[in-house]
Structure 1
Amino acid sequence: MFGKKENFKLDKLKEGFTLKVKKTTWKIIEIAEYDWSGDGRSIEYIMTSEDNNIEAFLEVEFLKGDYEIYFSQAVSLDFSILKDAINTSEVVFSGYQFSLEEQYKGAYKNLTNRTSWENLKSYMFYNSNEDILTIEDWGNDKFEAFFGEEIKSKNIKNITPN
């Protein structure tokens, strides 16, 4: 009974849970879902750091018996840079050259706020360090960008329910 470690499924965490990623403790404040049509579904945890100064995103997909996990933070890029990146399949960010390697069409719904499904296109650009710059196109010239990396489940530690 004492000292028993609970194993949580990474795609089934709840709001209020805390976890440690990249030496920082994060608290899940919202949960969202992506439906990638024929490419499956993923869960996204919107998280804040312990001091609430930093927001990050953990996207988790359970695929073929294993987790595919992306840790990222929002970045601000000019509209013209985002549009050009999608058109040319190349972008320079933070001094590194990124190339488009994956793109998906899907829908997004914030489960916490109970929003309606919104359609989007997601473009994943990689650099030589395997960093990922994701550009999401929400239509009507509305874009968001995220910088991050794919991580392994073993890099997520100290999962604690609220």
Structure 2
Amino acid sequence: MFWKTSKNYHLDKLKVGYTFTLYGTSWKITEVAQYDWRMDNFSVEYTIISSSKEAFLEVELYKGNYEVTYSEVISIEEAYLIDALQTKELFFNNKLYVLDEVYTGDYKNLTTYSSRENLECFLFYAKDEEMLTVEKWEDGSYEVFLGEEIKAKKIKNIKEN
């Protein structure tokens, strides 16, 4: 007799406490948030931690397929970001990133029950497909993330808490 030992999880429906393996590292979801991109699409963002770092996994279900982005927070001077948004180019770590996509929407942390916050999201890509995301919040502050789009199948061994 065959026993089913794992569930098929929907990547956009994971919860705080779930664990998974990515890049050979074990990760745990500590927060869940949602972006509403105001174009009939939403994405879910998981704050994830391993034994040595914090990162983010953003998941969007688009036309029946998952679009998944792994990223980490980086620091870039605000004046440099403002210039990059005007010139549509950003040079970071000896790579040129070019502005490719801009989205307007809002964000809500579903774990801490935060209020919805408006933001603009600017996606810059390098030739090697690495991406740099600049989020400009309604209060004028910026957050910057360095990451890459990954295939959903790279996320393995999903388990509930």
Q: Fold match, TM over 0.5?
A: yes
Equivalent pairs counted in the alignment come to 160
Instruction: Quickly say closer, same or farther: Cα 1:7–1:42, change in 2 above 3 A.
Output: same
Q: What residue is the counterpart of 1:126 in the other structure?
A: 125
Which deviations, in whole Å up to 9, do the C-alpha atoms of 1:47-81 show, x marking residues without a partner? 111x2x31100000001010011000000111111
Task: Please state whether the residue corresponding to 2:16 is helix, strand or coil.
Answer: coil
Instruction: Quickly say closer, same or farther: Cα 1:140–1:5, change in 2 above 3 A.
Output: closer
Structure 2 gaps of 5+ residues are none
Q: What residue is the counterpart of 2:104 in the other structure?
A: 105
Task: Please state whether the residue corresponding to 1:37 is helix, strand or coil.
Answer: coil
Q: What residue is the counterpart of 1:45 in the other structure?
A: 46
Superposition CA RMSD, Å: 1.1
Q: Distance in 2 between matches of 1:46 and 1:2?
A: 32
Which deviations, in whole Å up to 9, do the C-alpha atoms of 1:72-112 show, x marking residues without a partner? 00001111111111111000111100000000000000000
- The alpha-carbon deviation at position 144 of structure 1 amounts to 0.3
Deviating above 3 A after TM superposition, structure 1's stretches of 4 or more consecutive aligned residues are none
- The alpha-carbon deviation at position 44 of structure 1 amounts to 0.3
- The alpha-carbon deviation at position 6 of structure 1 amounts to 1.0
Cα pair 2:117 2:138 within 8 Å, conserved:
no
Which deviations, in whole Å up to 9, do the C-alpha atoms of 1:120-159 show, x marking residues without a partner? 0000000000000000000333000000000011110111
Task: Please state whether the residue corresponding to 1:38 is helix, strand or coil.
Answer: coil
Q: What residue is the counterpart of 1:135 in the other structure?
A: 134
Q: Distance in 2 between matches of 1:77 and 1:155?
A: 29
Question: What letter is aligned with 2:67?
Answer: E
1:159 aligned onto 2:158: yes
Q: What residue is the counterpart of 1:94 in the other structure?
A: 93
Q: Distance in 2 between matches of 1:92 and 1:139?
A: 25
- The alpha-carbon deviation at position 45 of structure 1 amounts to 0.3
Structure 1 vs Structure 2: percent identity of aligned residues? 46
Q: Distance in 1 between matches of 2:49 and 2:3?
A: 30
